Amino acid sequence: KAGVTQTPRYLIKTRGQQVTLSCSPISGHRSVSWYQQTPGQGLQFLFEYFSETQRNKGNFPGRFSGRQFSNSRSEMNVSTLELGDSALYLCASSDGPGGNTEAFFGQGTRLTVV
Amino acid sequence: DAKTTQPNSMESNEEEPVHLPCNHSTISGTDYIHWYRQLPSQGPEYVIHGLTSNVNNRMASLAIAEDRKSSTLILHRATLRDAAVYYCTTTYNFNKFYFGSGTKLNVKP
């Protein structure tokens, strides 16, 4: 069974641009969540989708958005990039609503904003 | 979601047991306790989870206090490959985790 796949692995963008990151969950998994990891703030929850519906959202500005498609693949978008958005963005999938199921993380997308 | 508190770092000798503590004193009755670990340049990896009873799997054991305000991850024989940052977190019914700063485990040969 293939693991969680995130594309691209590395990305360099300029301040003010926007970026879209993609996450393909493990086949059959309907829940996808996104995290931002930086040296200063650690791992921070962004949002979670289940069956195309956003169920939870972390404390991030509206520039951060996401969506989930009918095949459970998910994308997150960051508009008007700032230098502070440079981070490792991770997604995780699970086969149930969560809680009593394990989450599987991808390798992440390393975003650098210059 | 309960806030978790872990020691910043711990050290162990190879092939010895390691006990990694976590405090989650504000946990609610329906929150599950999860442990993940992260190696450098990789995404977090699931280790174990439980609700009330102690749990064992091929990687580790999870000991949960009777009042559920704390838990301990037990690696029975640490290897060099177990050197990682270990995160303890709780969640109720969602694929949503609030990670603290974790415990960096150093394993000495």
pLDDT in tens, A80-99: 999 999 999 999 999 876 67
pLDDT-derived band at B92, boundaries 50, 70, 90: confident
Cα–Cα distance for residue pair B16/B88, rounded to 1 Å: 21
Q: Enumerate chain A positions whose Cβ falls within 8 A of a Cβ in B.
A: 4, 31-33, 35, 42-45, 48, 50, 55-56, 90, 92-94, 97-108
B48 SS3 class = strand
Q: What is the largest CA-CA distance in chain B?
A: 40
Residue B49 contacts residue B33 (beta carbons within 8 Å): yes
Q: Which two tokens stand for residue A14?
A: 């300029």
8 Å CB contact of A97 and B93: yes
Question: CB-hemisphere CA count at 13 Å for A71?
Answer: 7
Chain segment B42-91, per-residue pLDDT in tens? 999 999 999 999 999 999 999 999 999 999 999 999 999 999 999 999 98
